[in-house]
Amino acid sequence: MRDIKERVRDKNPKIRNPAARLPKELVRSAVLEAKEKPRDLHEKSSGQSDSPTQYGTEKIESVQYRAASVAGKTIGKTTYRGGKKLAGVTYRKIKERKSRQEEAKAAEEAMEQGAESGKKLIKLKPEHAALAKENGKRQVKAAPRVVIVSGLSQEKIKTQASIQTQQVEKSLQAMQKARAVQMARKSVQASAESGKAVLQVKGKGSKLSVQGITATIQKGGVALEKMGKWIAAGGGAFLLVFILIAGIIAGAAFSSSSESSESLSDEVLAYTSVIQQYASQYGIPEYVSAIQAIMMQESGGRGTDPMQCSESPYNIRFSHSPGSITDPNYSIEVGVQTFADCISQAGSSSPQDMDKLKLAWQGYNYGNGYIGWALQRGGYTEANALQFSQEQAASHGWSSYGDPEYVPHVMRYYSGGSLFAGLFGNQQIVSVAMGQIGNSGGQKFWSWYGFDSRVEWCACFVSWCADQSGLIESGNVPKFSLCSDGVTWFQGKNKWQSGGTTPSAGMIIFFDWDHDGTSDHVGIVEKYEGGRVYTIEGNSSDQVRQRNYAVDYSSIMGYGLIN
């Protein structure tokens, strides 16, 4: 049988011709392919799936038509129909390709316009990108959001990308600036609406009311809005508003820019208890901060004569030559006694009476009758301080006399007489209260309040300390003689902290001894340390005393917040 097949093959040259065997090979390939393809992957144009047999039949017919076409033969209507079908398919493909090219061109033009304007970033569809890659007319680089087309040069693309990035950054910055300005405006308006105190600047006979402060703050808000392009967003805007408002208040309270508050040195702070002792002894316990400012200006708390008061007539232990005192505590005693005399001569009633306080400060530096001389001329001014210095220097034949700018220099270290005492008066009220430790009977406090005879004076004591610290004038603490009134005020202002929580220095502490919901006693928090609350209380066994309690002590009703 094998020999017969070989002889037939040798006699028939077409069998040896690969072209003659081509249809059979193609048919075999088509059949194998039809068997391997899943039936559900093939769909006709009508949407129906071909069976493997139908698909194989069509493949066979297609191969036959192709072979006949190559051989230049015709196989009748079947060939015609196959050619017509193939032509239809080809036409549709050409039409679809042309349509895709037009879409790709339109997309490219839109992309170029977006690159130029920096406003639109267009991404081509995957089929468009593939088509562009196939026909070689375009080169598409896919990116997460941007498609770069080779129609633009690489340099131009980089430049446009940089421009787009800058535009996005500018847009974000503009949004942040707008938000910052809006927050700043709201903060300024809220601060202007919340102000209640009236600040009087008597040095030049002028009065600055809340309305004036409000107007100034509003002007500051307008200026702040204009400066919006320099303002950072978020917490930075809040800080700038805070500095602006603080600067406005400070400018209203202090007539000189040199009178800004600076920190006290550690050496001066170390003498606080000694200053409080002598301030209380000589009747000016509320002026502790004013005395600290003097010491800071005189010596910074250093040396054996920190108050630089050896020339004072109250120095009876050492010579009156400069710097002769060698006992720091004695220097403080003499200095406080000297300043108390200046306060009395100037007629100062409280640390908030800035005109009289300035007169007392300059008198401490000049001595020699300056206070009486200045009172005849309307009180302290920088001009008459300079005039007095020049007159004294001329009369003694000296090149200079004292410090004509002593008051501005001292004011750098003092904040007790300004509205800052209302904003940051925690430590101030503690200092004032500590200066009253040991007072017995409380007559000083209940008579100040307006009573003709003794009353339970713990609340009068707290109110007096708050007044001396500027907290009543600033509206941060009420003037009250009944503990229950104080509780009502703080709770009504949402400035209340419940008992059992951790307090801080300067808070007003209220007690309820019998736990009936009504406060029976009040004091001032000195400090919180080691789980205990340390206080200064008036009318504690009819004296001003220091006490301490566990932080969770059940009789602590709560705390009034002073800022």
- Within this chain, do residues 454 and 329 fall inside the same structural domain, yes or no? no
- Within this chain, do residues 269 and 377 fall inside the same structural domain, yes or no? yes
Per-residue pLDDT of 450-504, as tens digits, reads 999 999 999 999 999 998 888 898 899 999 999 999 999 999 999 999 999 999 9
So which residues are the catalytic ones?
A: 458, 521, 539
- Within this chain, do residues 389 and 474 fall inside the same structural domain, yes or no? no
- Within this chain, do residues 504 and 361 fall inside the same structural domain, yes or no? no
CATH number for 472: 3.90.1720.10
Mean pLDDT of the chain: 73
Per-residue pLDDT of 330-363, as tens digits, reads 999 999 999 999 999 999 988 878 889 999 999 9
For residue 295, the one-letter residue type is: M
Give residue 470's pLDDT: 82
Domain encompassing residue 368:
260-415
Residue 185 located in a structural domain: no
Give residue 195's pLDDT: 44
Sequence-distant (≥ 6) Cβ neighbours of residue 393 within 8 angstroms: 399, 400, 401
Beta carbons of 441 and 388 less than 8 angstroms apart: no
Give residue 193's pLDDT: 47
**DSSP state for residue 47 in the 8-state scheme:** S
Give residue 254's pLDDT: 39
Is pLDDT of 6 > 80?
no
Whole-angstrom distance, CA of residue 281 vs CA of residue 521: 27
Per-residue pLDDT of 534-562, as tens digits, reads 999 999 999 999 999 999 999 999 999 98
- Within this chain, do residues 522 and 469 fall inside the same structural domain, yes or no? yes
- Within this chain, do residues 434 and 325 fall inside the same structural domain, yes or no? no
Query: What value does the mean pLDDT take over residues 404-426?
Result: 68
Residue 402 located in a structural domain: yes
Whole-angstrom distance, CA of residue 146 vs CA of residue 165: 12
Q: Domain boundary at 415, 437, 456, which?
A: 415
Residue 111 located in a structural domain: no
- Within this chain, do residues 370 and 481 fall inside the same structural domain, yes or no? no
Tokens of 1: 């049988």
State CA 120 to chain mean position distance: 35
Is pLDDT of 190 > 90?
no
- 8, with CB counted inside 10 A (0-12, 13-18, 19+), is exposed
Phi, psi of 32 (to 5 degrees): -60, -40
Q: What total of structural domains would you count in the chain?
A: 2
For residue 364, the one-letter residue type is: Y
Cα–Cα distances in angstroms (integers) from residue 378 to residues 225, 256, 332, 356, 374, in the given order: 42, 19, 31, 11, 6
- Within this chain, do residues 397 and 536 fall inside the same structural domain, yes or no? no
Q: Domain boundary at 364, 395, 415, which?
A: 415
CATH number for 291: 1.10.530.10
Q: Domain boundary at 354, 387, 415, which?
A: 415
Q: Pick the closest to residue 509 from 543, 455, 518, 498 (CA basis).
A: 498
Residue 389 located in a structural domain: yes
- Within this chain, do residues 305 and 390 fall inside the same structural domain, yes or no? yes
CA atoms within 13 A on the CB side of 116: 7
